[in-house]
Amino acid sequence: MFIVDSYTLAVILCFITMLCWGSWANTQKIAAKNWRFELFYWDYVLGILLFALIFGFTFGSIGSKGMGFAQSIGQASTSSIINPIIGGIIFNLSNILLVAAIAIAGMSIAFPVGVGLSMVLGVLINYIATPMGDPFLLFVGVGIVVVAIIFDAVAYKKLTSSEKKTPTKGIVLSILAGFLMAWFFRFVASVIAVDVENPGLNPADAGKLTPYAAFFFFVIGIVLSNFLFNTYLMKKPIEGEPVAFNQYFQGNVVSHLSGIIGGMVWALGTSLSLLAANKAGYAISFGLGQGATMVGALWGVFIWKEFKGAGKSVNLLLVSMFVLFTAGLVLIILAGN
């Protein structure tokens, strides 16, 4: 299987993760305007599953190093199967809660609360479990990125200023989404073998998985839970009228492909993050990936022109956000050297 063997390559993969996590949502904009998110999400999950299988049987199976994808699945212990499945269920629930929070409270509340909490708590959880890197540089860097996320949120708030009071329900959903999202990575990471390059040498690795196999079981958790969560969402939507299953089959090719591609883009980012953690550590890998919020902001500013015509105060916030974001990323990267 393909194995990351240098910190430099690990950082590069983490940046690709950031790009993927911050860009997949653009595929929803490609779909038809009347194509509901609930319908898009079925194709999104299908794309994740397809990628997990393709990635496992290609990069997860080539070369002489490590254990092959199918072999790793075949020797998996019960806990190594259950834990990443639980991680997939947790991720799927947190993702849907975040969507609900955005619909109720808006991006300016949901992202700094949800993603900010997820980033800080997630890095802390993963660093305690596998303490790799300089904790001072790591957490200062994370703190700076969180401030950048807040600046981004304030800019959105100014752009869409309203006298309406932020619903308490939206804040609560944001907190729940952020708390849950901080944990999914640890459930997957906990079953990955410490020495993935030399399976069988470390007795503690018995029954544990390669990153490819762990990601596959994680995806199984997403797929299974989606029949519960998304079916409920279709019957009790966050916004609009209930959605029927027959509407899914009425979608055009572009709408379906946009969801599948979106899922594959997200899956690429997540799988590379798990691969990079072998050299970067799970805390740094997770922390860099959560910078995806800023990537999303870049798309919004330069491609979708969401801030077109914004005042000087908004532009100043955006510039400050990107400067802080860059500084935070540099510190997180230096923490691993």
SS3 track for 171-229: HHHHHHHHHHHHHHHHHHHCCECCCCCCCCCCHHHCCCECHHHHHHHHHHHHHHHHHHH
pLDDT band at 161 (very low <50, low <70, confident <90, very high): low
Top mean pLDDT of 23-27, 38-42, 214-218, 280-284 is at: 214-218
Asked if 141 and 331 count as a contact pair (C-beta separation under 8 A), the reply is yes
User: Helix (H, G, I), strand (E, B), or coil: what is residue 311?
Assistant: coil
Asked if 188 and 274 count as a contact pair (C-beta separation under 8 A), the reply is yes
Range of the domain at 36: 7-335
Hey, which residues does 192 pair with through a beta bridge?
209
Write out the H or E segment, with its range, that includes residue 260: helix 253-280
What's the token pair of residue 249? 């089959």
What's the token pair of residue 49? 């599953």
The predicted pLDDT at position 76 comes to 96
Q: 311 CB contacts (<8 Å, ≥6 apart)?
A: 158
Closest C-alpha to 41, from 282, 258, 308, 306:
258
- Which range (85-89, 106-110, 125-129, 270-274) has the least confidence? 106-110
pLDDT band at 301 (very low <50, low <70, confident <90, very high): confident
Q: Which residues of 300-325 are buried (b: 16+ CB within 10 A; e: fewer)?
A: bbeeeebbeebeeebeebbebbbebb
Q: 179 CB contacts (<8 Å, ≥6 apart)?
A: 94, 117, 118, 121
In whole angstroms, what is the distance from residue 262 CA to residue 281 CA?
A: 27
The predicted pLDDT at position 266 comes to 95
The predicted pLDDT at position 13 comes to 96
CB atoms within 10 A of CB 165: 6
Whether the per-residue pLDDT at 141 is higher than 70: the answer is: yes
Closest C-alpha to 89, from 285, 235, 229, 233:
229
The predicted pLDDT at position 202 comes to 81
For the chain, how many structural domains are there in total? 1
The predicted pLDDT at position 104 comes to 81
Closest C-alpha to 59, from 290, 288, 274, 286:
274
Query: Residue 1: inside a domain, yes or no?
Result: no
In whole angstroms, what is the distance from residue 124 CA to residue 139 CA?
A: 8
The whole-model pTM stands at: 0.91
What's the token pair of residue 6? 């240098």
Asked if 293 and 178 count as a contact pair (C-beta separation under 8 A), the reply is no
Average pLDDT, the chain: 90
Share of the chain above pLDDT 70, in %: 97
pLDDT band at 108 (very low <50, low <70, confident <90, very high): low
Asked if 289 and 281 count as a contact pair (C-beta separation under 8 A), the reply is no
The four Cα atoms 165, 170, 175, 181 give a dihedral, to 10 degrees, of -140
Whether the per-residue pLDDT at 40 is higher than 80: the answer is: yes
Closest C-alpha to 239, from 109, 95, 101:
101
Query: Residue 255: inside a domain, yes or no?
Result: yes
Query: Residue 2: inside a domain, yes or no?
Result: no
User: Helix (H, G, I), strand (E, B), or coil: what is residue 40?
Assistant: helix
DSSP single-letter state for residue 65: S
Whether the per-residue pLDDT at 164 is higher than 70: the answer is: no
The predicted pLDDT at position 240 comes to 86
pLDDT band at 162 (very low <50, low <70, confident <90, very high): low
Question: Residue 217 carries which side chain, given as an amino acid letter?
Answer: F
